[in-house]
Structure 1
Amino acid sequence: MRNAVTPSPLAIFDGHALATREHTDCLRPWRVEVRDRNRADGATKSAVLHRHLGTEFLPLSKGEGSYMVLEDGRKIFDASGGAAVGCIGWGNERVARAIMAQVMAIPYCSTIFYTTSVQEELCRYLVDSTNGAMSRAYIVNSGSEAMEAAVKLARQYFLELNPPQPRRTRFISRRQSYHGTTLGALAVGGHEYRRAKFEPMLMKNVSRVSPCNEFRGRHPRETNEDYVARLAKELDDEFQALGPETVCAFVAEPVVGAALGCVPSVPGYFKAMQAVCQKYGALLILDEVMCGMGRTGTLHAWEQEGVVPDIQTIGKTLAGGYQPVAGVLVNRHVVDVIERGTSSFVHGHTYQGHPAGCAAALEVQRIIRDDNLLSNVRKMGALLSRRLQERLGNHPNVGNIRGRGLFWGIEFVAEKKRSIPFPEEAHVAMGISERGLAKEYGINVYPGAGSADGIRGDHIIISPPFNVRAGDIEWIVNTVGRLIDDYFASSTDR
C-alpha cells in the first residue's frame, strides 16, 4: 500500500533507478517495452526515424470510437485524444466518405492558380463562427505552420499601415509556453527543453514574461485582481524596456496545453493583456491550436475571455485527426490593412488549402454542430472536473487539478504542502503514461514536463472526445485514479 507520509523529492526513486533511467522529457514517446532493435544481420527492424530510436512502439491497427486497437486486438481507451486531437472518436464513416469524395474529385489544389469550393466553404464556416470578428481564414497543415504564418502576418501588417511602422520586429510571449516546433514557432515559444539544442539558430527578437499560472504564480494572499494587475504591469514594463514602437505582438494560449498542462488564465487576465497591447498599438495573437475549436467548451477559447484576438491560430480538433489540418483566423481590421496595401500576403505553402484536409475539417465541424457536441463538452467537462477532484484531490502526490471543458491537467508533486516538484530525472508523467498503456489499465493519457519551472514539474493531460458519455467519464476517472495510486505505491516500495 502507498505510504501515508509523502516521500521526499528524491526518496521516491532509489539511486539505481535514477542512475539508469533514460534522460528525456515529454517528447519521448510512450515506452512500454524496450528491446534490442538490431537483428542478427545488423539491420534494424524499422526504417522509420521514430521519436526515440531505442523504442519498440505499439503497433496500431485501427480506431473504433474512443478506442485505439492494436494489431494483437488489445484495445486502449484514448482518454487524451492523442495530443488533444481526437474530438469525435475514430472510424467515423461520415468523415471518411467526405474525404474520399474530395480525393476522387480533386485531391490537390495549386493555390497560386485555383481555389476549391471545399476550401471556400470551410473558411466561410470558420469566419462566420466568430460573429464577424474575423474576416479571413488561412488553411495549413500543422499548428507550427499556423504560428509561422501568424508571426509573418503580424510583421507585414505593420509594414502596410499608413504610415508604415518598420521598426516593429519584436514579439513578447510567455515563459513555459509552446507554440510549435519549426524554428520560427520554436523561437516564439518558451519551452526550455525543446529550445535547448537549437538556441543558436533561433531568432533573438522574442522576449518572455511570466505565464498566468494561479497554482504556481499567484501569491497566497494575492487576490485575482491583484495578480492580474501585477502581470499586466510586467507586460507593460517589457514593452517599455524593449521600446513600445518595436513590438509587433503579444502571443499566448488562452488555456496553456502541453507546456503547463491545461492551465487556464484567471478572470480578467486577457482583457488586461489586450489593454496593454492596445495602449502601445501592438497586436494580440492567441494560440488556440490545442485549446481551441471546442476543446474548452466554446468553439473559440477566447469567447470565454471577453476579448477578440487580432490573429488566432487553430488546429488539432479542427479536423479531429482525420487529416493534418490547421489554420489562421485574421481579424477584420488586420485584413483591411493588407487589402488597402499590397493586397498580398507574402507567404505560402505547396499544400495550403489542401482539399482533402479541408473536406475533413468541414465535415468534423459540421458533426460538432449537428450533434450539439459543444453542449456535451461543457456538461461532461463539469462531471470530469468534479470527479477528478473527488477521486484525486487529496492524493499526496497530486498538487493541482485544472482545466476547462474536456481539457484537464493533473500536476504531480513530491511534497504536497509546499508543492515541491519531482526531480527532472524521475520522469513521473512519462512513467504514469507508459504504465497506463499496460493491459491492466488500457488507457492513453498525455504526459508533459516543466510545469513548475520550465524543467521540473510533471503533469498529464486528460482530453477525451467531445462525444464522451457519463459512463466513460466514470471509467476514465476510476482508471486514472487506480493508475496513479499504483504508480506511486510501486515507487515507494522500491
Structure 2
Amino acid sequence: MAPVTELERSSSLLYKDFEQHGVPAIVSASGIYLGTQDGRTILDATSGAAVACLGYGNPDVQKAMVDQMMHLCYCHPGFYKTQVAEDLADFLVATTNGVMSKALLCGSGSEAVEVALKLAKTYFEHLPEPQPERTRFIARAGAWHGATLGALTLGDFRGRKDPFVSLLSQNCSRVSACSSYRGARAGESDSEYAQRLAQELDDEFRRIGPHRVCAFVAETVGGSASGCAVPVPGYFAAVKAVCERHGALLILDEVMCGMGRTGTLHAWEQEGVEPDIQAVGKGLGGGYVPVSAVLVHDGLVRSLRRHGHAFAHGQTYMAHPLAAAAALRTQQVVQQQRLVPHVRDVGAYLGRRLRDALLPHPNVGDVRGRGLFWAVELVADKQKKTPFPSKLGVSGRLHARGMSKGYEVALFAANGTCDGYVGDHFLICPPYVVSRKDVDEIVYRVALVVQDTMAEVATQYSLKDI
C-alpha cells in the first residue's frame, strides 16, 4: 500500500466527499498528459471536463496572460471597460456572422445559464406590451445545466439535485430528451422521433399555458449527465417551431458541447437553427482561466435597445480582463491552427475506433457522440438495455482503474444515464490537438480499462441475476 502523503493526511481543502484520498496529486502538465506527484504520467482523454481544448502549456495563451497581467489584471466591470473584453465579445459575435450581436462575459457555465434565464425574463418584461406572466421554463429529462440553484432547477441529474430540491424554484417542468439509444421506439424513423418529441413539447406548452412559458432550455448535444446524446436530424428545427408558435424563446446550453467540441464552433450550426440565447464555457478559455459567456440573438438585442431598459444584472468578475485575454488568445489559436476542421476529422476517426474496439463487448450498450465528444454507455444486459444497479458503482470503478498504475488514462465517468439515478457511462473528449496516433493510444487504454473492470465486476456479481 502506498504511504499516505502529507497532502492527504492534513488537507484543509473541502472536497465533494470532504476528503480526497486515493486520487493522484497533479504537479505538472504538458500537451495531453498530466504528471503526478508519485512520478506517473496520465493521458488526459477528457480535457479535464471537456475544458482543456488546446491541451496543457500552450505558450501563446501563456504569453497573452502574462502580457495582460503586466498591464491590468482587474477593474470593476460596472465602473470601467477594457479593450480586451470588447475584443473578445467582438470575436464571439463575429463567429456567428452577427446572428448573435451581444456577448456577456462571466465566470462559469452555471453562471452563464443563470444569466441566460434572467435575460429571457428581462426580454418579456420589456416588450411594448410586457408579458410578466412568462415565468416558467421547460427543460429536458437527463439534462445537466450546472450546480447553482437556478441551473439545478433546470437540471435532472438526481444525485446532484435531490439534496437541494427544497431550496429550488418550482418554475420548471421537463419533457423527454432526444436520445435515440433509450428514447426512440422500434421501427421509428428519425423524422418520426423528432416529430413525436416536438408534439410532446407542444403538449407541455399547452398544459402549462403557452402564455406562461418563458423559454425551452436544452443542451444542443447532451453533456455529462446524458452522455453525449446527439439530436436526430430535424429535432431542433421542430422544437424551435414549437417555441415560435407559442412566442417563447429557445435557450441552448453549449457550455460543454460548444466552442468547437462537436466539430463546428457552435454546435447549433449543425442543426439548422439559431438560438435566442446561448451559453458557452469550458472550451472558451481552454482551462487557462475560469470564463464563460452568454450570446444574445440580434432580435432580442434590438428589442431591448428599442425600449431603452437596462439588464438588471452585475457581478464582480464579469468581463474580467485576464480571463478575456486568455479566452481570446485560446480562440485565436483554435482559428489560426484550423483546429475545428481537425476536430471533425480526428473525431470521426475516434468514433470509428471506439465503436470497433468497444461495441463487441457484452456490457457496452452504446457508443455515441460527435466531433471530439464521445460517450460509452455500459449495461448489464445488452439486449434489454438493462442498467447496472447503482450500488455496483460501475462508472466509478472504470474511472478509478483508469487512474491507477498500468492504465493511466483519465475517463470522465458519470451515472444516472437511464433515469437520473441508475445507468453508467463515461465520456472521451480529448484536447483538439490530438493526433490519430494519440487516438489509437487512447482507445487501447480505454479498451483495457473496460475489459479488466467488467471482468472484475463479473467475478464479484452474477450479472445474469441483475
Q: Secondary structure at the match of 1:313?
A: strand
Asked if structure 2 preserves the Cα contact closer than 8 Å seen for 1:173 and 1:209, the reply is yes
Asked if structure 2 preserves the Cα contact closer than 8 Å seen for 1:35 and 1:55, the reply is no
Moved more, 310-319 or 113-122: 113-122
| Shift, 1:306, TM fit | 0.3
- Specify whether residues 240 and 37 from structure 1 end up closer, same or farther in structure 2 by C-alpha distance, changes over 3 A only: farther
- Rounded to whole Å, the distance in 1 between the matches of 2:11 and 2:218 is 38
Match runs of 1:389-400 below 5 Å: 389-400=355-366
- Specify whether residues 253 and 38 from structure 1 end up closer, same or farther in structure 2 by C-alpha distance, changes over 3 A only: closer
TM-score, length basis structure 2: 0.96
Asked if structure 1 preserves the Cα contact closer than 8 Å seen for 2:126 and 2:309, the reply is no
Q: Given residue 55 of structure 1, which amino acid in structure 2 is its aligned partner?
A: Q
Deviations 1:286-333 (A, max 9, x none): 000000000000000000000000000000000110000001000001
Asked if structure 2 preserves the Cα contact closer than 8 Å seen for 1:35 and 1:54, the reply is no
- Specify whether residues 172 and 486 from structure 1 end up closer, same or farther in structure 2 by C-alpha distance, changes over 3 A only: same
Residue in 2 that maps onto 1:8 = none
Residue 18 (structure 2) aligned to one of 47, 53, 58 = 53
Q: Secondary structure at the match of 2:115?
A: helix
Q: Given residue 156 of structure 1, which amino acid in structure 2 is its aligned partner?
A: T
Residue in 2 that maps onto 1:345 = 311
Q: Secondary structure at the match of 2:28?
A: strand
- Rounded to whole Å, the distance in 2 between the matches of 1:34 and 1:334 is 59
* 2:110 is equivalent to residue 136 of structure 1: no
Q: Secondary structure at the match of 1:256?
A: coil
* 2:438 is equivalent to residue 486 of structure 1: no
Deviations 1:87-114 (A, max 9, x none): 1110111111101111111101211121
Q: Secondary structure at the match of 2:10?
A: coil
Residue in 1 that maps onto 2:186 = 220
Q: Secondary structure at the match of 1:255?
A: coil
Residue in 2 that maps onto 1:332 = 298
Residue in 2 that maps onto 1:152 = 118
Q: Given residue 142 of structure 1, which amino acid in structure 2 is its aligned partner?
A: S
Residue in 1 that maps onto 2:394 = 428
* 2:411 is equivalent to residue 445 of structure 1: yes
Asked if structure 2 preserves the Cα contact closer than 8 Å seen for 1:34 and 1:55, the reply is no
Q: Given residue 368 of structure 1, which amino acid in structure 2 is its aligned partner?
A: V
Asked if structure 1 preserves the Cα contact closer than 8 Å seen for 2:139 and 2:173, the reply is yes
- Rounded to whole Å, the distance in 2 between the matches of 1:277 and 1:177 is 19
Number of aligned pairs? 459
Asked if structure 2 preserves the Cα contact closer than 8 Å seen for 1:111 and 1:353, the reply is yes
Q: Secondary structure at the match of 1:234?
A: helix
- Rounded to whole Å, the distance in 2 between the matches of 1:159 and 1:95 is 40
Residue in 1 that maps onto 2:376 = 410
| Shift, 1:37, TM fit | 9.3
Asked if structure 2 preserves the Cα contact closer than 8 Å seen for 1:373 and 1:466, the reply is yes
Deviations 1:465-490 (A, max 9, x none): 10100100001111111110011112
| Shift, 1:190, TM fit | 1.7
Q: Secondary structure at the match of 2:105?
A: strand
- Rounded to whole Å, the distance in 2 between the matches of 1:371 and 1:96 is 17
- Rounded to whole Å, the distance in 2 between the matches of 1:58 and 1:351 is 31
| Shift, 1:341, TM fit | 2.2
Moved more, 224-233 or 323-332: 224-233
| Shift, 1:493, TM fit | 2.4
Residue in 2 that maps onto 1:114 = 80
* 2:156 is equivalent to residue 190 of structure 1: yes
* 2:91 is equivalent to residue 125 of structure 1: yes
Asked if structure 2 preserves the Cα contact closer than 8 Å seen for 1:244 and 1:280, the reply is yes
Deviations 1:261-283 (A, max 9, x none): 11111110000000000000000
Can you give the 5+ residue segments of structure 1 that lack an aligned partner in the other structure?
Answer: 1-31
| Shift, 1:72, TM fit | 2.6
* 2:445 is equivalent to residue 470 of structure 1: no
Residue 208 (structure 2) aligned to one of 236, 242, 253 = 242
Can you give the 5+ residue segments of structure 2 that lack an aligned partner in the other structure?
Answer: 461-466
Q: Secondary structure at the match of 1:403?
A: strand
Q: Secondary structure at the match of 1:264?
A: coil
- Rounded to whole Å, the distance in 2 between the matches of 1:330 and 1:34 is 52
| Shift, 1:336, TM fit | 1.1
Match runs of 1:16-415 below 5 Å: 45-56=10-21, 57-415=23-381
- Specify whether residues 232 and 74 from structure 1 end up closer, same or farther in structure 2 by C-alpha distance, changes over 3 A only: same
| Shift, 1:248, TM fit | 0.5
Residue in 1 that maps onto 2:464 = none
Q: Given residue 14 of structure 2, which amino acid in structure 1 is its aligned partner?
A: L
- Specify whether residues 34 and 149 from structure 1 end up closer, same or farther in structure 2 by C-alpha distance, changes over 3 A only: farther
- Rounded to whole Å, the distance in 1 between the matches of 2:144 and 2:358 is 27
Asked if structure 2 preserves the Cα contact closer than 8 Å seen for 1:235 and 1:276, the reply is yes
TM-score, length basis structure 1: 0.91
- Rounded to whole Å, the distance in 2 between the matches of 1:457 and 1:71 is 33
- Specify whether residues 248 and 34 from structure 1 end up closer, same or farther in structure 2 by C-alpha distance, changes over 3 A only: farther
Q: CA RMSD in A?
A: 1.6
Q: Secondary structure at the match of 1:344?
A: coil
Q: Given residue 346 of structure 1, which amino acid in structure 2 is its aligned partner?
A: A
Asked if structure 2 preserves the Cα contact closer than 8 Å seen for 1:84 and 1:317, the reply is yes
- Rounded to whole Å, the distance in 2 between the matches of 1:202 and 1:107 is 35
- Rounded to whole Å, the distance in 1 between the matches of 2:253 and 2:175 is 16
Asked if structure 2 preserves the Cα contact closer than 8 Å seen for 1:422 and 1:457, the reply is yes
| Shift, 1:344, TM fit | 1.4
Q: Which runs of 4+ in 1 moved over 2 A?
A: 32-39
Which structure has more relative contact order (CA 8 Å, sep 6+)? It is 1
Deviations 1:111-162 (A, max 9, x none): 1121111101100000000011000000000000000000000000000011
- Rounded to whole Å, the distance in 1 between the matches of 2:292 and 2:392 is 34
